[in-house]
């Protein structure tokens, strides 16, 4: 006769339910240092169950450059060890230093329309070293938009007007020290590294981003809709791509 005592199955863990692993997304802004850049992406990542730290950088402080930025980011990460570091534009230089100084904390790295530095390179030299300006002007001629640089044509062409106005109250002028201080790292860590290129980025055209990603990292750039500030113009598509990386 069978016992009337029922044996309960052990509770399934998240891994047993095939749920995606959770990560802490650490989001770095570009020039101007405004964490507000990520305010439309952050809730989408949090809704998917991830922790998010959007870092505000002291971009207008003439005494604080890349080393100070990296120290601030590492302090914000604290004891967290499963970090997906996401860098937009100039934030790529800070990301290089964070990876070098906290190698056990960063599990994956994502560049979003970002400057991908070489060891010891400065952000000021990056433009000529990569041929960025030549690529930008060639893309402008092909695309039929102004060759002469203009914020509206290059940064804000696909960003809703209320967000353009709001961004102005959050950003600061980037101090020269961040452009002169070299990227003090020896090489990229052995972790998954992804490059996301905005399909309509006019600052760093997609073909240019794909070439730099291939030459400097040996990876293929993935495309999402939007321009250079697609965290504002296409947050859902960008968040979906980031979540997919974290799940992989």
- pLDDT, position 21: 64
- Terminal Cα-to-Cα distance of the chain (whole angstroms): 49
pTM reported for the whole predicted model: 0.91
**Angstrom distance (rounded) from CA 149 to CA 135:** 13
The tens digit of pLDDT for each residue in 59-92 reads 999 999 999 999 999 999 999 999 999 999 999 9
Run of H or E residues at 136: helix 132-143
Q: How far is CA 154 from the centre of its chain?
A: 18
**Angstrom distance (rounded) from CA 139 to CA 137:** 5
User: If you write DSSP's letter for every residue of 88-151 in order, what string do you get?
Assistant: ETTHHHHHHHHHHH-TTTEEEEEEES---PPTT--HHHHHHHHTHHHHHHHHHHHHTS-SS--H
Q: What mean pLDDT do residues 105-118 have?
A: 98
Q: Do residues 245 and 108 make contact, with C-beta atoms less than 8 angstroms apart?
A: yes
Q: What's the length of the chain?
A: 248
Q: Do residues 109 and 85 make contact, with C-beta atoms less than 8 angstroms apart?
A: yes
At the topology level, CATH places domain 24-247 in: Rossmann fold (3.40.50)
**Angstrom distance (rounded) from CA 215 to CA 97:** 20
Run of H or E residues at 209: helix 206-217
Among 222, 221, 217, which Cα is nearest to 190's? 217
Tally Cβ neighbours within 10 Å of residue 193.
Answer: 20
Average pLDDT of every residue of the chain: 92
Local confidence band at 19 (pLDDT 50, 70, 90 cut-offs):
low
């Amino acid at each position: 006769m069978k016992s009337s005592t029922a044996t309960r199955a052990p509770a399934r863990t998240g891994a047993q339910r095939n749920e995606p692993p959770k990560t802490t997304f650490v989001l770095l802004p570009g020039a101007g240092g405004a964490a507000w850049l990520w305010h439309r992406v952050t809730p989408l990542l949090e809704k998917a169950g991830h922790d998010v730290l959007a870092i505000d950088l002291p971009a207008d402080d003439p005494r604080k450059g890349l080393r100070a930025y990296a120290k601030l980011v590492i302090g914000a990460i604290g004891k967290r060890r499963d970090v997906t570091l996401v860098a937009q534009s100039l934030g790529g230089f800070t990301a290089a230093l964070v990876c070098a100084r906290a190698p056990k904390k960063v599990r994956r790295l994502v560049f979003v329309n970002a400057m991908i530095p070489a060891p010891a390179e400065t952000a000021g030299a990056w433009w000529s070293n990569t041929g960025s300006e030549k690529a930008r002007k060639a893309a402008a001629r092909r695309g039929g938009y102004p060759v002469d640089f203009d914020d509206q044509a290059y940064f804000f062409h696909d960003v809703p007007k209320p967000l353009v106005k709001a961004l102005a109250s959050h950003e600061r002028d980037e101090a020269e020290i961040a452009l002169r201080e070299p990227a003090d790292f020896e090489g990229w860590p052995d972790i998954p590294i992804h490059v996301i290129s905005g399909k309509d980025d006019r600052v760093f055209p997609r073909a240019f981003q794909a070439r730099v990603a291939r030459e400097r990292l040996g990876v293929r750039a993935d495309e999402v809709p939007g321009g250079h500030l697609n965290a504002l113009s296409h947050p859902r598509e960008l968040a979906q791509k980031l979540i997919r990386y974290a799940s992989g």
